[in-house]
Amino acid sequence: MLYGADYNPDQWPEDVWDEDVRLMQEAGVNIVSLGIFAWSRIQPAEDVWDFDWLDTVIGKLHAGGIGVNLATATASPPPWVSATYPETLPADESGASYWPGSRQHFAPSSPTYRRLAGELVRRLAERYAHHPAVIMWHVGNEFGCHLPMDFSDAARDAYRVWLRDKYATIDALNGAWGTSFWSQRYGSFDEIFPPRLAPYSHNPSSMLDFRRFTSDMLLECYLMERAILHEAGAAQPITTNFMGPFKPADYRRWAPFMDVIADDCYPDPSNPHRVRDAAFQRDLVRSLKPGVPWLLWEQATDAVNWRPSNPGKRPGALIAETAQSIARGADGIMFFQWRQSRAGSEKFHSAMLPHAGTETRVWNAVTELGARLAALPELPAPGRDARVALVFDWEAWWAVEERDHPTEIDYLALVLEWYGGFHARNIQVDIVGPEEVDAGYDLVVAPALYLLRDEGAAALARFVDGGGILLAGPFTDIVDEHDQFRSGGFVTQLAPVLGVRFEDFGALGGVSTGGAGVGALSPHAAQAARATGAAATVTFGLDGASLCGRLVAERVHAVDATVVASFETGLTAGSPALTRHPHGSGEGWYVATQPVAAGLDAVVATVIEASGVRPVVAGLPAGVEAARRGDLVTLINHGDVRVEIAIEGIDAETGAPVERVALESQGVAFVHAPAAASEPARKTEPFVAERSEASIATAGIPAR
């Protein structure tokens, strides 16, 4: 189990470094991510390099038995870079430059940025690739954080190249983007710009490509650095830190290039859904590399500094949150950062070593956690324990949140609602792309999978054919990979599986935010209007109960499906709200609204019953979370009161047999409890979906 933090000794005088190592040992730290923002210290001017301090720090850490995850330090170019090479700066939609003075002020597609960053990485790699202290490499930092899109001239030039690589001919691009609409037909790739500030909506197909391009440019930066590390002979694992469901970067496309997945997760103590949301994030990153443990690369020991109000964690929450990561596949627990900064934007951010010193609640919690992790036995690999998959797809996310749709959809919020239906029951879920759905699952839920690629549709159909239960909808299978309607209406790819014909969308309305055109509310007012939640709902009847849906009440016809629930109110009253259809050896279900609260719970309960999937541990008290990792069951009491739970197994920390465990609020138990024989292992080996793997010559990224 790795335990440690970001370590920024360049912010401190040398005489602090020995104390750092001593206290790291006291806390049980065995790894630090070193020098993530140290570029200006390593290369104070273009032709000046200073590695002496880094040699010293690495030497001290090594002598202290602390492994180094060496950063490539490329996430914050020094002032001389921006002053000498302004073309490295990114730009916003209007073309205005983002200026230096913070961090992440680089245009990912700038050849000059890449040349300078590459040189820094080369020198670091040549110097430290064979250093025995260096056990991992940390490339960049949180790629895309702060700057989700860059509209600079560097982006413009690279975008044209990217599009030429993708489409080869301008006619192909015109076809894919549907440019006959509004006189947008391009005569050559040189006429194309990033989607900069325009009077009205950009072409949605072009927006989708620009998002793909943006993710790929960030990935290219990572791959460039990785290639340089390899060239210099670095044999250590190489990774960068993900941010869970982070919209700008399609991590599923990135994952094959990470030797290990590393993730930063900062649950908001004020978010009533923080346990659910963090569980989703951890399940998502685990699912990116099935069977391989991941690393929690950053969490906070206590308060952060970047929300409007930053409360600390409740007593015990650090262990409870950490256990949630371990339960869901993590083999490393790290923090931002080791020693609290005394200057700069993050001086109020908590750290392992608080500014107030070691006689603090936080230091006690940190040392207690270190001791507990050190005592854990070796953990089983996170298997593919889940029998339920929730489909979550970046391209669908990008496309479904474009404007000019029947209704605005917050895709992540909607997916989290579905996830919550399973999380509340302690049913283990993998978070997968549609192409990754395979016969190892019993139940697959695909909400708002608005953009559905051919391969994804084929995998879902194969899944149902083979005996699985698919719950699709609402707003699923509407467009192809270019964000264009397919011929023959909507829900075309899944129609045979679902046995329904989709007629129209039935947006429910509610508070109008006025779109973005003339008379629109300001973004702030629109957000406030949405937050008041005055959106209309619809009711549907299921098993004698009248339940609620939101967003849409789609008009769907049961062709050969059975109607399980019908709308009771609104324009679609009397038409199907939930259908079920036998197909192959399985069943396709369709839900025509986004059920809320009791409605969502009832629909989830219905498909759980139909599929026979079971919780990790049944009948747990409210607030207790259970997750399985091979034969290890982790129980976490997020509630306020002490609970007792019946579970037979071996306490993983003490080795003692248990029949019951008692958990105080925030208490955690790790119990070896193999799945019952009545819970058979996966029916098949994971299916590897067919995807086009042709390479983009420049970066080796699989082509779209």
209 near ligand GAL, judged by CB under 6 A: no
List of E strands, 56-175: 67-71, 134-138
Here's the x/- map for ligand GAL, 339-378, by CB under 6 A: it reads as -------x--x-----------------------------
Task: Collapse the DSSP code of 543 into the 3-class scheme (helix H, G, I; strand E, B; otherwise coil) and give the result.
Answer: coil
222 near ligand GAL, judged by CB under 6 A: no
CB of 433 to ligand GAL, least distance (A): 25
156 near ligand GAL, judged by CB under 6 A: no
> Which range, of 123-131, 140-148, 432-440, 506-514, touches ligand GAL by CB under 6 A?
140-148
List of E strands, 373-478: 388-391, 429-432, 443-446, 469-472
CB of 265 to ligand GAL, least distance (A): 10
Task: Indicate the residue whose CB is closest to ligand GAL.
Answer: 336
324 near ligand GAL, judged by CB under 6 A: no
Pick the binder of ligand GAL from 209, 298, 435, 442 (CB under 6 A). Answer: 298
428 near ligand GAL, judged by CB under 6 A: no
Which residues have CB under 8 Å from 425's CB, separation 6+? Answer: 604, 608, 615
Pick the binder of ligand GAL from 41, 60, 139, 142 (CB under 6 A). Answer: 142
- Alpha-carbon distance of 81 to 191, in angstroms, equals 30
Contacts of 661-665 with CB under 8 Å at 24 or more apart are 661/635, 663/624, 663/635, 663/636, 663/637, 664/316, 664/637, 665/316, 665/637, 665/639, 665/640, 665/641
336 near ligand GAL, judged by CB under 6 A: yes
CB of 516 to ligand GAL, least distance (A): 29
- Alpha-carbon distance of 49 to 39, in angstroms, equals 10
Which residues have CB under 8 Å from 583's CB, separation 6+? Answer: 461, 464, 465, 496, 497, 498, 499
Number of residues engaging ligand GAL in binding (CB under 6 A) = 10
Instruction: Please answer whether residues 4 and 29 qualify as being in contact, where contact means their C-beta atoms are separated by less than 8 angstroms.
Output: yes
CB of 36 to ligand GAL, least distance (A): 6
Q: Which residue has the tokens 């324990």?
A: 385
Here's the x/- map for ligand GAL, 245-284, by CB under 6 A: it reads as -------------------x-x------------------
Task: Collapse the DSSP code of 259 into the 3-class scheme (helix H, G, I; strand E, B; otherwise coil) and give the result.
Answer: coil
CB of 103 to ligand GAL, least distance (A): 8
Name the residue nearer to ligand GAL (CB basis): 84 or 341. Answer: 341
Number of helices and strands in the chain (H, E): 18, 26
Name the residue nearer to ligand GAL (CB basis): 151 or 266. Answer: 266
Which residues have CB under 8 Å from 286's CB, separation 6+? Answer: 261, 294, 328, 329, 382, 430
Instruction: Please answer whether residues 483 and 402 qualify as being in contact, where contact means their C-beta atoms are separated by less than 8 angstroms.
Output: yes
Exposed e or buried b per residue across 415-449, where buried means at least 16 C-beta atoms within 10 angstroms of its C-beta = bbbbbbbbbbbbbbbbbbbbbbbbbbbbbbbbbbb
Name the residue nearer to ligand GAL (CB basis): 244 or 474. Answer: 244
Name the residue nearer to ligand GAL (CB basis): 241 or 637. Answer: 241
CB of 631 to ligand GAL, least distance (A): 34
Name the residue nearer to ligand GAL (CB basis): 303 or 596. Answer: 303
Name the residue nearer to ligand GAL (CB basis): 264 or 402. Answer: 264
141 near ligand GAL, judged by CB under 6 A: yes
* Active site residues per annotation: 142, 298
Pick the binder of ligand GAL from 163, 228, 304, 334 (CB under 6 A). Answer: 304
Instruction: Please answer whether residues 447 and 696 qualify as being in contact, where contact means their C-beta atoms are separated by less than 8 angstroms.
Output: no
Instruction: Please answer whether residues 142 and 227 qualify as being in contact, where contact means their C-beta atoms are separated by less than 8 angstroms.
Output: no
CB of 509 to ligand GAL, least distance (A): 38
The tokens for 440 are 């190892």
Q: What are the residues binding ligand GAL (CB under 6 A)? A: 141-142, 145, 264, 266, 298, 304, 336, 346, 349
